Every structure is written in C-alpha cells, then in structure tokens.
C-alpha cells in the first residue's frame, strides 16, 4: 500500500464535566488527529500525548513537530505491505512512542480497510463486544464520589475505578466499597505515592480492591516490586510499561500482577498485541486503559480489547459521559456494561467533518517530497 498524503490536526473538545486526577484538573481535551491516505482510502488515529509532559515525557507540540518534519515525510510516497513492515521502518526513531503510535494506528485502520475487514479481525480479536468499566476523577467530596459510583453501578458498568492521591484515598475508598458491595473497585494513583506512604498503601490493601494501579513513580519498577511483596492486592502497572520487554521485566520481577495496555502509550497496536501475548504467557490478565479519547481513539481501543487476554473491564465507557458532541457520526455507547465493537471495515467509525472543522485549532497537510503546509482552520 502506497501512502499518498497525511493531514494533521490539533483538536480541542470541551469536557462535559471537569476531570481531576493527581496531575490536576482537565476541562477540555486537546489532541492530535491524523488522517492518512493511500490508494483512495483513509485511516485515522489520534495521539494520546498531553499538552504538558505530566503522564509521560511526550507533548503535543513535540509530537506534532516530529510527525510533520521527520516521520511523515519519511513514509509518504513509499509502499508498505503490512503494519509489521511499517513498524520496522519506524524502528530507527528512538522513543517517542505516542507520536509513532499515531501513525501506526492510522495505518492499521487504513490497512484493515484495504482488506475490507474490521480492525478487530486483523488484530486477532475473538469478541463482538467488550466488558467496560468506568473511571471516576477526584470528586468534590466523599458523598459526591459515592453518589457517582453508585449511579454508574446502576448503569451496569462492570468495574468502578477511583482516582486517588495522598490525602484522598483510604476513607473515600472505604465509603465507596461499602456502598457498592461485590462490584469490583480499583484505584489509580497515577504515580502519586512513594514508599514513604507505605502505611496508607497497606491500609488500601485491606479494602478488598481488585487491584491498585501505578501507585509509585512512572519509571520505577524496582520499588513496585518491593511494594508488591508487602501486599495481597495485585498491583497493575500503566506508565511504567511502554513495550513488551517492559512487561516481561515487570512480570518476571513481580512488580505487578496485571497490566494496563494503552495502545497509544506503547507505540501502537503491534506492540500492544505483543504485550498482551507476554502477559498471557505469565497468566497475567490485561485490560485497555483510556486517555479521554474522542470516538476515533475510543474505537481503536474497543477493537484492541477484543483480544483474548483482555479479561478485565477496560476504560472504554460511553462517549456521552465526556462529550456533548463527538467528532464521529457513530454513537459509542455501552449497554449493561458491554460496549459493542463498531461494525464495518477498519475501526468502523467515520469523521463528522463539518463539526471537526469547528473544533480544529491547527491543520497541517503533508505530501510526499514536499514541506508541510500549515493553515488556520476555515
């Protein structure tokens, strides 16, 4: 497949409600959207890097520059038989996994469309719907948290994940657990704790959580291994895992017992599938995390979640929880805690171009053997 043209956009979508984590509060989601064309077809993907390097080290401005000035000019005008060949070509670029994932994922969508097959089929998926949990940001009060968790439990979500940080943890989690009974509850610290918080972490260990996600530093497997030895509750790693090699090391050293796979964090679908397979070899379950994606990224996540070892509910909850209007025509909505896989070739969703233009902050066209041309949105 010959790659002919690429369009990069910076999109900003207002959230229906502020979403607060240990990083801070988010009122809108800004992201890079890539439209990749070849042989009369188009593949789309969105980047998960943030404006600031708070989750991982990549940023929107850095990824945008790398894609438009180096990566895309290096692939446009060339032919790639399959995603594996494209990934080998991209291997010369070190790091920058989120930026490279944006291209790799768009190519998977394009390639699946060229085969007239759903992305889930070419990835090797085994389901036509996936179990879904919900991620709740830090709320104004414990009462508000319990009410929100209870509402989502009534809507059928299969797991409630609570964002925590020092000072907002044990008491709040205990109240939610008491309200929800046997429904699985997890917590996500986004690397906000250290071993100096061991008393708090051991208190969380007594609450019957399904797992505790990334409690310690984003790049520290060693201390996670120390902590896991002290706890009955499984630890789940997120920020620490950027490759199958990372997953192998984490599971070999017992730094965790399950893995959150975010396809954008690990460089794309091919590496996500490798992590899935490595975890399966350790009998460790995986689940698909979210980065407040629009319908494009959400659709990619849903298709990935159809792989066999995605046995824990993921973060691909209903789009209507986040957006008054999404950038795609299709409605990605759960029913009874299950998300249907979008039908059709590729990721199975189509861009709402008139609306997309209204939320576009920057648009850049990239052609083979030509410099990128930036334009303000019309």
Q: What is the DSSP string of 123-185?
A: HT---SEEEB-EEEPPPSSHHHHHHHHHHHHHTT-S-EEEE-BTTBSHHHHHHHHHHHTTS-E
Using alpha carbons, select from 1, 5, 2, 28 the residue that is nearest to residue 17: 28
pLDDT higher than threshold 50 for residue 2? yes
Indicate where the chain has its CATH 3.30.390.10 domain(s).
5-115+351-375
| Residues listed for the chain | 378
Looking at residue 157, what is its pLDDT? 96
Dist. CA 362–CA 8, nearest whole Å: 8
Helix axes 269-281, 97-114, angle to 10 degrees: 100
Looking at residue 160, what is its pLDDT? 97
CA distances to 1, 7, 303, 325 from 340, in Å: 29, 29, 10, 19
Model confidence pLDDT, tens digit, residues 230-241: 999 999 999 999
Looking at residue 293, what is its pLDDT? 95
Q: Mean pLDDT score of the chain, rounded to an integer?
A: 95
Indicate where the chain has its CATH 3.20.20.120 domain(s).
121-340
pLDDT higher than threshold 50 for residue 11? yes
54 pLDDT band (50/70/90 cuts)? Answer: confident
Q: Could you say which of 163, 177, 312, 363 is catalytic? A: 163
331 as an active site residue: the answer is no
pLDDT higher than threshold 90 for residue 20? no
Model confidence pLDDT, tens digit, residues 302-315: 999 999 999 999 99
Dist. CA 359–CA 12, nearest whole Å: 6
Give the 3-state secondary structure percentages of the chain, helix then strand then coil, rounded to 5.
35, 25, 40
pLDDT higher than threshold 70 for residue 330? yes
pLDDT higher than threshold 70 for residue 377? no
Contacts of 161 (CB under 8 A, 6+ apart): 133, 134, 135, 136, 185, 186, 187, 188, 213, 315
- The kind and range of the H/E element at 66 are helix 60-66
312 as an active site residue: the answer is no
Q: Which CATH class is domain 5-115+351-375?
A: alpha beta
Dist. CA 107–CA 47, nearest whole Å: 13
Averaged pLDDT for residues 341-365: 97
Averaged pLDDT for residues 324-345: 96
Residue 276: Cβ within 10 Å count: 25
Q: Looking at the whole model, is its pTM more than 0.75?
A: yes
24 pLDDT band (50/70/90 cuts)? Answer: confident
Q: Could you say which of 29, 68, 262, 312 is catalytic? A: 262
pLDDT exceeding 90 applies to what percent of the chain?
90
Looking at residue 25, what is its pLDDT? 82
The lowest-confidence range among 53-67, 100-114, 284-298 is 53-67
378 pLDDT band (50/70/90 cuts)? Answer: very low
Contacts of 137 (CB under 8 A, 6+ apart): 18, 19, 20, 21, 163
Dist. CA 212–CA 186, nearest whole Å: 6
Model confidence pLDDT, tens digit, residues 245-264: 999 999 999 999 999 999 99
Model confidence pLDDT, tens digit, residues 354-372: 999 999 999 999 988 654 5
CATH no., domain 121-340 = 3.20.20.120
Using DSSP bridges, classify how beta strands 5-21 and 24-38 pair: parallel, antiparallel or unpaired: antiparallel
pLDDT exceeding 70 applies to what percent of the chain?
97
Model confidence pLDDT, tens digit, residues 174-232: 999 999 999 999 999 999 999 999 999 999 999 999 999 999 999 999 999 999 999 99
Cα dihedral across residues 306, 307, 312, 314: positive or negative: negative
Model confidence pLDDT, tens digit, residues 273-303: 999 999 999 999 999 999 999 999 999 999 9
Using alpha carbons, select from 41, 37, 33, 32 the residue that is nearest to residue 6: 37
Looking at residue 244, what is its pLDDT? 98
């Amino acid at each position: 497949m010959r790659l002919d043209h690429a369009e990069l956009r910076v999109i900003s979508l207002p959230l229906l409600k502020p979403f607060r984590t240990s990083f801070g509060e988010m009122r809108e989601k800004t992201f890079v959207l890539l439209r990749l064309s070849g042989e009369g077809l188009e593949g789309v993907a969105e980047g998960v890097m943030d404006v600031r390097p708070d989750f991982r080290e990549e940023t929107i401005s850095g990824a945008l520059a790398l894609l438009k000035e180096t990566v895309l000019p290096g692939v446009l005008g060339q032919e790639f038989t399959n995603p594996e060949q494209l990934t080998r070509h991209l291997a010369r670029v070190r790091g920058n996994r989120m930026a490279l994932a944006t291209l790799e994922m768009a190519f998977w969508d394009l390639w699946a469309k060229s085969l007239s097959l759903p992305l889930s089929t070419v990835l090797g998926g085994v389901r036509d719907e996936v179990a879904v949990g919900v991620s709740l940001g830090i709320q104004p009060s414990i009462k508000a948290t319990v009410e929100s968790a209870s509402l989502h439990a009534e809507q059928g979500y299969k797991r409630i994940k609570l964002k925590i940080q020092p000072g907002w943890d044990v008491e709040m989690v205990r109240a939610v657990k008491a309200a929800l009974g046997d429904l699985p509850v997890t917590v996500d610290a986004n690397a906000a704790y250290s071993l100096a918080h061991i008393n708090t972490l051991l208190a969380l260990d007594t609450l019957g959580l399904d797992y505790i996600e990334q409690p310690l530093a984003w790049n520290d497997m060693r201390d996670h291994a120390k902590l896991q030895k002290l706890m009955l509750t499984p630890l789940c790693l997120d920020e620490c895992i950027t490759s199958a090699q990372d997953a192998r090391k984490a599971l070999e050293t017992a730094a965790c017992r399950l893995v959150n796979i975010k396809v954008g964090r690990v460089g794309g679908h091919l590496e996500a599938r490798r992590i899935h397979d490595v975890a399966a070899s350790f009998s460790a379950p995986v689940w698909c995390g979210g980065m407040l994606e629009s319908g494009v990224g959400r659709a990619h996540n849903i298709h990935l979640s159809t792989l066999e070892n995605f046995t824990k509910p993921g973060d691909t909850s209903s789009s209507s929880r986040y957006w008054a209007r999404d950038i795609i025509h299709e409605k990605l909505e759960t029913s009874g805690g299950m998300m249907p896989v979008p039908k059709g070739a590729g990721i199975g969703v189509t861009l709402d171009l008139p609306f997309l233009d209204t939320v576009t902050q920057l648009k850049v066209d990239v052609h083979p053997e030509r410099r990128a041309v930036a334009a303000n949105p019309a």
